[in-house]
Amino acid sequence: MGYHFTLCYKPGNKNRVADALSRIHEDAELSSMLSYPQWFDGASLLQGYDSDTLIQKYIQDITVEPISHPGFTIVNGKLYHKNRLVIPSTSSWVPKLLEEFHTSPNGGHSGFYRTYRRLGAHIYWFGMVKTVKNICSSL
């Protein structure tokens, strides 16, 4: 490349423009940050749960025959699909979740697949694939 240079070590107190990584002590380590959703209003997330006929049918079926619906389980009286909480498809949270996971700056209008994967990692509702596809194609 035609460049000629020499590397010179400068101790931290003499190197006034050192970056943060060069100032880390040798015994220090970098740790990754973890993020996960926290449901502050969990009661409203499950609003309409007892009146949703499909969820109640699945709960009854699984109570009688646990393998009647593969991938579905009941934990503390709530229905889960592959360890994701099942919410009513008519929940007032569905549009809010779609807004957060697709339309917001965090969602970034990243298309159906990425939106579905991020949202589907935490929660599930019947007809979720169709709902997410419709939202992603309309915006």
Q: Where is pLDDT greater, at 23 or 109?
A: 109
- Report the predicted TM-score, pTM, of the whole model to 2 decimal places: 0.63
Instruction: Give the Cα separation of 23 and 28 in Å (integer).
Output: 10
Instruction: Give the Cα separation of 48 and 89 in Å (integer).
Output: 9
Instruction: Indicate the range of 60-64, 69-73, 93-97 predicted with least confidence.
Output: 93-97
What pLDDT digit, counting tens, does each position of 25-47 carry?
555 555 555 555 565 666 677 77
pLDDT reading at 61 higher than 90 = yes
Fold of 42-138: Endonuclease III; domain 1 (1.10.340)
Strands 123-124 and 84-86: parallel
pLDDT score at 64: 92
Residue 89 and residue 95 in contact, taking contact as beta carbons nearer than 8 Å: no
pLDDT reading at 24 higher than 60 = no
Which helix or strand (DSSP H or E) is residue 81 part of? strand 78-81
